[in-house]
């Protein structure tokens, strides 16, 4: 007499359901303002660190070829700090502008003081 595969099919179905439930619990929460803000923060940090390290690298490279010992390194550091600060401020302004446009018109607060 041939055996049926019903117990196996039920076991596979049960296993699939348990696996789907486990994966649903493991899934991180999607989107949200906090994750966008954290991403922007990491982006700004990367711009600042990258600018400083890039400036240091170019200053060191200039020192190697021009034999101007610490002056190229110091100049590269200052230029890197300036460029990275400019990039971070510009990026923060762009992000703030986009967020305020997304928020729309906010209600104004009534002035309680008398003129």
Q: Which domain holds residue 59?
A: 52-96
- Extended strands (E) in 20-78: none
Q: Identify whether 65 is part of a domain.
A: yes
pTM: 0.59
Residue 49 has pLDDT above 90, yes or no: yes
- Kindly indicate the confidence band of residue 1, based on its pLDDT and cuts at 50, 70 and 90: very low
Q: Identify whether 67 is part of a domain.
A: yes
- Say how many domains are in the chain: 1
Alpha-carbon distance 97 to 101, whole Å? 6
- Kindly indicate the confidence band of residue 30, based on its pLDDT and cuts at 50, 70 and 90: low
Contact 85, 47 (CB under 8 A): no
pLDDT single digits (tens) 74-85: 999 999 999 999
Q: Identify whether 88 is part of a domain.
A: yes
Q: Identify whether 31 is part of a domain.
A: no
């Amino acid at each position: 007499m041939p055996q049926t595969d019903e117990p196996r099919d039920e076991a596979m179905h049960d296993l699939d359901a348990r696996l789907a439930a486990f994966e649903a619990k493991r899934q991180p929460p999607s989107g949200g303002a906090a994750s966008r803000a954290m991403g922007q923060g990491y982006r700004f940090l990367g711009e600042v660190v990258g600018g400083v390290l890039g400036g240091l690298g170019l200053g060191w490279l200039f020192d190697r070829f021009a034999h101007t010992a610490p002056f190229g390194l110091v100049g590269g550091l200052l230029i890197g700090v300036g460029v990275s600060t400019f990039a971070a401020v510009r990026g923060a302004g762009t992000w703030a502008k986009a967020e305020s446009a997304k928020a729309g018109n906010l209600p104004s607060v009534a002035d309680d003081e008398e003129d």
